[in-house]
Amino acid sequence: MRVVFLSLLMVLSVLSFAQQPGAMPEVKKFYFKSFFDRVKSPQKGADFVETVTVGADSITHVEIRHITLDQIVLDAFLKKEEPVGMWYYHLANGGRLLNYDFNLVYGSAAPDSTEKAFFVPNLPEITNLLVDVPEKKYVAPELATGDGDLSQFMQNNLVFPYYSMVNKQYGRVLIGLQIDEEGTVSRITVENGVNVYLDKEAMRIMKKIRFRSGAKLDGQPKRIYYRLYISFFQ
């Protein structure tokens, strides 16, 4: 069965190239010593090899492999500089799949004037809508990810984008999101971005968050509009 499956993949690949005559992908290789410093090195003596393949669809596939271990440490797809598709990133604590298969959305996630009646009112006494305020009869949405709080969720899931780390790009991304009465996260936007790598990772992490329930004020289910900074610093 595996042989048949692999044969089918090979046939499909051949057909794909047959439909695009002259559209052979451009492939480049880059050898270097340190994964993060990326100092160019001769092939002999290099620790890492980066293979960059630019396809006819303008999607760039990047594979970085540790030569001695024969292990992929990064398998990534880029459209111009924007991360797209599924990435594999081998971190110190093991491999991680990162889903960048979504579009970046910039702007405000704040409710407009016709929606405001459905949201928790702007109460200055409630400074963090993800924390209960019993004296105001406010119950915050409950995380359903198994993390103790939002800080732990970030620590367990946030990944510093490889190319931002290499290029020493740091900063704070302001994310806005709405959480409806059932705890469903919607309308996630980048309200103040830094660059496409950090913005995409900040949005990815918010797309992973899940809540078991929505917020309540005076016992009534309410939507909330929440803004938070996601920091990327070494």
Average pLDDT (43-65) is 94
pTM: 0.85
Amino acid identity of residue 196, one-letter, is: V
pLDDT digit string (tens) for 147-187? Answer: 989 999 999 999 999 999 999 999 999 999 999 999 999 89
Give the pairing of strands 211-213 and 142-143: antiparallel
Q: In the block, which residue shows the tokens 């006819």?
A: 56
pLDDT(19) > 60: no
* DSSP state at residue 70: T
In the sheet that holds 224-232, the strands lie side by side as 185-192, 171-179, 224-232
- The CA distance from 233 to 210, in Å, is 25
Query: Please, are residues 33 and 40 in contact by the beta-carbon 8 Å criterion?
Result: no
Instruction: Please state, rounded to an integer, the average pLDDT across all residues of the chain.
Output: 89
The Cα angle at residue 193 between residues 51 and 142, in degrees rounded to 5: 100
pLDDT at 17 over 50: no
CB 220 within 8 A of CB 159: no
DSSP code string of 101-168: -S---BS-----TTTGGGBPP--TT-S-TTS-BGGGTEEPPEE-SS-SSHHHHHHHH----HHHHHTT
Question: Residue 186: what are its φ and ψ, rounded to 5°?
Answer: -145, 170
H helices of the chain, in order, are 2-18, 150-157, 162-166, 196-208
Cβ-contact 202, 159 below 8 angstroms: no
Band (108; pLDDT cuts 50, 70, 90): very high
Which position has the token pair 């760039």?
Answer: 60
104 pLDDT exceeds 70?
yes
What is the pLDDT, as a whole number, of residue 22? 53
In the chain, what percentage of residues exceed pLDDT 90?
A: 78
Task: Give the domains, in start order, of the chain with CATH numbers.
Answer: 23-100 (no CATH), 116-232 (3.30.2420.10)
Annotate 85-104 with b (16+ C-beta within 10 A) or e (fewer): eebebbeeeeeeebebeeee
The pLDDT value given to residue 175:
98
